[in-house]
Structure 1
Amino acid sequence: MNVLVTGAYGRCGTAIIDHLDGRSDYEFTYLNRSDRASDHRYGQFDTHVADITEYEAIRPAFDGQDAVVHLAAYPYIDGDWADVFEPNVVGMYNVLEAARDAGVESFVFGSTNHVQGMYEETLAPELYRPDFPLKIDQNDPVRPDSFYAATKSFGEDLGRYYSESVGTPARFYALRICTVLPYTHDTPYGQAEQRVADGDLTRDSQEYRRLVTRTKAMWHSRRDFAHLVDCCLQDDDVSYGIFNGVSDNDRRWFSIRHARRRLGYQPMDNGEAYDHPGNNH
């Protein structure tokens, strides 16, 4: 299967490289708006260098592809409309239109948990308890917490239009991704430890403990994220589906029942297994 990954050198794209590249059933092409130096961890891969806001620049990368994993975007919840509009609205349209024009059958979209982020805004920190009685699934109302989240909700809707009305791509998978971390910090302690290294937090602070508690709920380990993408790429049944991207954490408030049943998702990791900063996957 030929697979194009956009935004290939971000956290999620590199998780795909680390865990799926080299498998005999995939031939990956990577699209990114910049390349990496030859001595970089990800510098040995051929890259189609282009910005998703420029349709003619990205269009050739879609020829001959069976699937697209679309991860390129402006990814920050504090961005204003000017930040998100071009990459997340125009860019989303460009990538779907290029996939349609090239006859790509399957489209995996990197959406976000922030599409339903207002649940956390209104219920935290009690929400972080493992016994909190809430599991959000794909049928619960969309409640975006930012312009960024609203554009991802738009991307889900646009994907539905292409799969159900246009007909190509024929299969669309929206992954509401939770917390995927860099390979150097791939544990529930990763975000907090990075802030300690940056001098922003101390390990004995209340903020450190709260961040670790939240990440234990939201963590999507890199191998579990890559596995979920693999499940989508191997599927030939779903025409349009929304799936939560999170590991099997005791504290999670996003349900993975739908991903288990429809895709065969079987996450290996649970944030509760970590009680101190540990080894990365």
Structure 2
Amino acid sequence: MNGHVLSSCEAGILRLTLDDEDTRNSLSETMMAKLTAALKAGAQDACVRVIVIAAKGPAFSSGHNLKEITAHRGDADKGAAYFAALFQSCTELMLAVVQNPKPVIAEVAGLASAAGCQLVASCDLAIAAETARFCTPGVNIGLFCSTPMVPLSRNVAQKHAMEMLLTGDVFDAAEALRMGLVNRVVPASALSQTVTELATKIASKSMVTIRIGKQAFYRQRELPLEDAYAYTAQVMAENLLTRDAEEGISAFIGRRPPQWSDET
């Protein structure tokens, strides 16, 4: 079955590379299962500090595998059960990114379409090459990109998200940067180096602090203002009790580099 994920880890940076150029790195059943498993394994591996999701070939990911979807229209229920399970698997994948205690960076060199764009939007950070393109074209084939809409609408302004969703148009990297879908746009030749430098900088921080902060970020933004402050105040008070907060403050006052324990 199609769907390969190459995995390598160096200096605390786990690089997961989508490798199925024949289907433009579609998020097939196999691809989603392997990527989800790799993300969950990275979450549990103490040697992993940052995760990068990249891709081989001209496409980051073309989204769901439409041939797999079409093959199940002949099922007794016309594919209803398969479709429900498919989108549940996709949800599990996206949550494996957002709920991962390690920061996840998308490295986008080519086209990120539909669920592929959803994956980029779900990552904590995204760096794009000038050659990258982004779209949610489901409307063009009678299938509104409803699940990609979830992270997209949480990353870009409402009218930008609606334009992408309603038109299905392809947006270049510069426009994606203007909309806030990606953090930076760099020449294709500098993409991997830029991502590695960013990942290395993040990997140098206290991992317990990063974990606390990432979890708090996604929880607080769904809360009303007063509740968000109450929640984050509690988080910061508890964060101050960790060994790394004590060490970090002591190192700052003493004007020396901190020595992280990565323990609570």
Rg larger in 1 or in 2?
2
Q: Which has the higher helix share?
A: 2
TM-score by length of 2: 0.31
Higher relative contact order (CA 8 A, sep 6+): 1
TM-score (structure 1 length as normaliser):
0.30
